[in-house]
A and B are shown apart, each in its own frame.
Chain A
């Protein structure tokens, strides 16, 4: 199956900006964030039409994190996250058609329709899920890092979870082993302020997530998760730390989700004004768009062209997801076990 272009990387292009980044890289970030935003909006629409079932957790508002971190990853670095995973998959370069078709439970989905929104993987894109159990990505990601150290391959695992998951015991079991064995893992805590309907203040005795590694001597940093360049810079530092053999690093990404926890969450635990305020003043896509315009790196026409391109990709993904057939009934019994190679 076709794969989309991987997320734009800042390579050796001329540094057009104060950030030392080329124009193409910045436009790439804009494009990728917008792709996630439009993709998620369309997923929400398909859910509303009954084409997507079950749980569907949208990444709207948090786009800068997956895109910014991905921009500094090296070939072979792994990514693993929880169930709010569509954005990470798109950032990893997974095919939007396959991701959307998995949401609709069709044969063309990345898990052939057998995983759904919360359970998608791509060995090719080094994306290891998509995990529905809150906190599970922490030890699994730490295990991927253990494999990197075992093979001494210089790769880093980016292990994402949310502020809610950060209260699970298995996260701290993982922190302990990662620090003890100096494993090459970067923990990216996406702090969107609400663990489902429970605010950070109501659930956490220490609300500064970047400090959560202190008793394991894991350094941490608070990052503006609504600013893709801040995310990128912090991720670069954290990855260098992990890759150099110094062990794990925690990045607390301060962010905000605009939609409910899942599609069926009316989000009555916060006010419309609170959401509007963030959208108006901290939106990651608007923020980058303003910067691009201010620095003269993109004019209205260039940005419109990107908008149009993204819309087209998303419309195609929706169409593919709607028309791809449901899995063959025989698929029910395949892939329960791996055929022994003996």
Chain B
């Protein structure tokens, strides 16, 4: 004997009308037969039999309203089923409540205790345990452009690991739209340095698929502006799959390319995506400033078993910095770097804005304000410990980013500082960011819109109550 229960047509349905019976007592039904029609305020649907047997009793009359979900509506006798492990509806009331997400039933109060600080799920090691590698005494420092440092990082990792390959628009024969992949085709051949058609959504998806199969793709976007067409695969396919698969499938890969405002390329080609990607659990997000960090962090990103968004900057590609000549220069992901120490005000920045912050600090020093400049380097996981430690010393905070302020990186840093060092602040923090407009083309308006040394100096003075 089997009870047929009033089915739910959607997770939110609680009761409905039994509009019509298609069977009567004595009828034989088999799986898939339509036995009744039910109605809700939204729809009418047919109920099909799951079991076979003879209708013994109809427990609800046709036309009955307000029939509760899971109430027995009919009874089947016999049936040929040999192994009837029919779920007992009564015994499972509690479970049903849980399965239907009844909030009353779910007090995950103690789950909170497991929650790591900020965005640091278990796999992300605490920043204080991380440190840049010791540079051996006497190691040569070689003047290197950011462009070549990135190329060197990819070449070294491709030599080291046969599963690493580069794909993107113009990366092979053209040597990279910004010449970042110069020489790679020659060394590694077209199997591992792949020119794609102009098809960001498609090749980002192909890259994720290849990563699911265990390869380690480096997917280059000519600029991150074009990656908006691919953001679905970065977020939905790359970032979420490990979690959704219960840990079975990984997507070890790097998405990289220039991010932020170049020069005079206007609104659609000038955007900082740091906040967008740093919002997403499952991604790591890196935005280096100098050549040594570009190299050491890109090498780390390629080796990382997670999907990494690597935000470069076109205006930095040609700038030269010292890079230590050591065998395998790999930096820790998730560790900020104090670029300049100072006791009076903390300035946080990443990518190109670090250079502006350092210049601003020099100017401020001339006026007797010693700024501490924290280069965030990684935005997810964000090393807020280093920032908080600095603010506890300086009691003042200015955040600098090239992106827009609302819901931005600065907003997040200020929230964390308030959470961890509220009592240490002597002034409300200030944000220096792009003006809240699409980036204009005209030179004067563009300059007015973007962060500048002058704006940083003014903000630092303001939080120091100096004019």
Contact = CB atoms under 8 A, between A and B. Distances in A.
A95 to B, nearest CB: 13
Interface stretch (B3-11, B358-366, B402-410, B456-464): B3-11
Interface string B204-216: 1111111111110
A264 B305 CA distance: 39
A278 to B, nearest CB: 12
B92 A174 contact: no
Given A140-B206, A147-B210, A338-B250, 5 more contacts: A129-B244, A136-B237, A267-B45, A319-B87, A340-B303
B437 interface: no
A237 to B, nearest CB: 24
Contact of A316 (B85, B110, B121, B233): B85
A337 B244 contact: no
9 contacts: A41-B31, A45-B7, A50-B69, A129-B244, A130-B244, A133-B232, A140-B212, A336-B121, A337-B306
B242 A147 contact: no
Contacts of B209: 80, 128, 139-147
Contacts, number: 265
Contacts of A109: 246
A133 B232 CA distance: 9
Contact of A111 (B31, B196, B246): B246
A50 B100 contact: yes
Contacts of A322: 87, 92, 95
A241 interface: no
Interface stretch (A16-24, A247-255, A293-301, A327-335): A327-335
Given A105-B99, A337-B124, A170 B210 contact: no
Interface of B: 5-11, 31-32, 34, 43-48, 50, 69-70, 80-87, 89, 92, 95-96, 98-101, 108, 110-111, 114-116, 121-125, 165, 191, 196-197, 199, 201-215, 232-233, 236-237, 241-250, 252, 281-282, 284, 303-306, 330
A37 B69 CA distance: 24
Contacts of A268: 43-44
Of A120, A133, A329, A342, the most chain B CB neighbours within 10 A belong to A329
B123 A336 contact: yes
A142 B123 contact: no
B7 A333 contact: no
A217 interface: no
A233 interface: no
A315 B84 contact: yes
B99 A330 contact: no
Nearest to B93: A50
A53 B233 contact: no
A150 B202 contact: no
